[in-house]
Each structure stands twice: as structure tokens, then as C-alpha cells.
């Protein structure tokens, strides 16, 4: 999965190490009521979404592009979006959807969440793609993005004829995963000892 995607370093030595142990992570999963059933429904969601990823990204990119305060984070000093940056991020974003649904939530997954958080924070923003865009994305936007990334996925989950109950279970599993991920991405933003 993800071979040949520029900047996609999942499972490699280049990825930051999560400050959480697997035991800490299990407690966080319990806190958002994430269960083995959710893992099963995420796998099903992965099957459902796999051939819809470009349409999902079109929707999400349209959302970001229609809000100047969001597209700002992909723009250069001239306030114009950096096309190559948007394109590179889009490929990793597509892989992120697949990883959210299909990867085991193990140490490699946990570590990559730390890496994603760093890539939004001033500590590592822009480094992966060697661009000069806005140097930092405020934590408030990572948290606020939980809603659009969750709300907009449900119609895609309903596209393959699954029962309303199965669609709802896929959606709830996705929602829990997004909350887990944003919680993990927040680590670089907090004072040492506060995470």
C-alpha cells in the first residue's frame, strides 16, 4: 500500500515515534468506544470507498478551496495555491483514507499519526514537499475538521447498497477513527507533559 507516493513514509525509519505506548493507545481507543467491531466496519468502509476516493477528494478539495482561510495553508507568499503541493498532498490524502480503513492500528499506525501531526505543525510543515507555504496550521482547524471529514463521508458509505444499519456502523467507526487520529495529531501542539 502506498508505494511510489512521494513523502509517504509509513512504516519506515523516517517516521517520528509516537510518545504513547500501545497500552496508552488502547486506553485512548476505549475512551472513544473504539472496538473490534469498529475495526471490522472500517474494513468494510475501505471496500466501499476504494473506488470513490477521487470523488471524495474532489469534494474535500472543493471545500478547502472555497474557503480562503483554509487554502491559505497550501499557498505561497503570493497568496496563490501551490499546485504541486496540493497534488502531492492529495496523493497522500487518498492513501490516508485507505490507511484509516485498512491498516492495523498497531505501532506503525500510531507512529504515523505522530508524523501527520508534525507535518501540520511548524516543526515539520512544508518539509516533506520542500515548499514555502504557510508554516503552521493552527490546532483549532485540525479539531474543526473532524466534522466535515466525518459528515461528508456518509453519502459515499451509502453508495454500495448496504443496509442503513451497516452504513451507520461504518460511519460511526469512521467518526471514532477520525477523533482518535486528531487526538493523536494534537501531540506536537501541546506543552511537554500535558499530552
Instruction: Report if residue 163 sits inside a domain.
Output: yes
CA triplet 145, 150, 153: central angle to 5 degrees? 125
The contacts of residue 172 (CB under 8 Å, 6+ apart) are: 38, 41
Instruction: Report if residue 15 sits inside a domain.
Output: no
Instruction: Report if residue 38 sits inside a domain.
Output: yes
pLDDT at 3: 76
Instruction: Report if residue 24 sits inside a domain.
Output: no
Q: What is the secondary structure of 96-149 as a DSSP string?
A: HHHHHHHS--SHHHHHHHHHHHHHHSTTTTTTTTT--S-S---HHHHHHTHHHH
- If one counts every other C-beta atom within 10 angstroms of the C-beta of residue 4, the result is 6
pLDDT at 95: 98
Q: What is the mean pLDDT for each group of 10 consecutive residues in the chain (195 residues)?
A: 88 96 97 98 98 98 96 95 96 98 97 98 97 97 98 98 98 98 98 93
pLDDT at 188: 97
CATH classification of the domain holding 91: 1.10.490.10
Q: Say if residue 102 is exposed, middle or buried (CB neighbours under 10 Å; 0-12, 13-18, 19+).
A: middle
Instruction: Report if residue 138 sits inside a domain.
Output: yes
Instruction: Report if residue 5 sits inside a domain.
Output: no
For residue 125, what is its C-alpha cell? Answer: 510543515
Instruction: Report if residue 11 sits inside a domain.
Output: no
Q: Report, in this order, helix, strand and coil percent for the chain, each rounded to 5.
A: 65, 0, 35
Domain total of the chain: 1
Instruction: Report if residue 165 sits inside a domain.
Output: yes
Are the CB atoms for 145 and 73 separated by under 8 Å?
Answer: no
* Domain span at 169: 29-189
Amino acid at each position: 500500500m502506498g508505494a511510489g507516493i512521494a513523502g509517504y513514509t509509513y512504516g519506515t525509519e523516517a517516521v517520528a515515534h509516537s510518545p504513547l505506548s500501545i497500552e496508552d493507545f488502547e486506553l485512548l481507543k476505549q475512551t472513544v468506544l473504539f472496538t473490534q467491531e469498529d475495526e471490522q466496519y472500517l474494513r468494510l468502509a475501505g471496500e466501499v470507498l476504494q473506488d470513490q476516493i477521487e470523488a471524495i477528494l474532489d469534494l474535500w478539495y472543493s471545500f478547502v478551496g472555497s474557503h480562503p482561510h483554509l487554502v491559505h495553508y497550501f499557498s505561497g507568499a503570493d497568496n496563490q495555491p501551490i499546485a504541486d503541493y496540493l497534488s502531492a498532498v492529495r496523493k497522500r490524502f487518498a492513501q490516508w483514507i485507505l490507511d484509516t480503513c485498512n491498516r492495523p492500528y498497531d505501532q506503525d499506525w500510531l507512529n504515523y499519526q505522530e508524523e501527520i501531526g508534525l507535518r501540520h505543525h511548524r516543526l515539520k510543515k512544508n518539509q516533506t514537499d520542500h515548499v514555502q507555504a504557510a508554516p503552521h496550521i493552527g490546532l483549532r482547524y485540525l479539531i474543526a475538521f473532524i466534522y466535515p471529514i466525518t459528515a461528508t463521508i456518509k453519502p459515499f458509505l451509502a453508495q454500495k447498497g448496504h443496509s442503513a444499519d451497516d452504513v451507520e456502523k461504518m460511519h460511526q467507526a469512521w467518526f471514532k477513527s477520525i477523533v482518535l487520529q486528531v487526538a493523536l495529531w494534537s501531540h506536537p501542539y501541546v506543552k511537554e507533559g500535558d499530552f
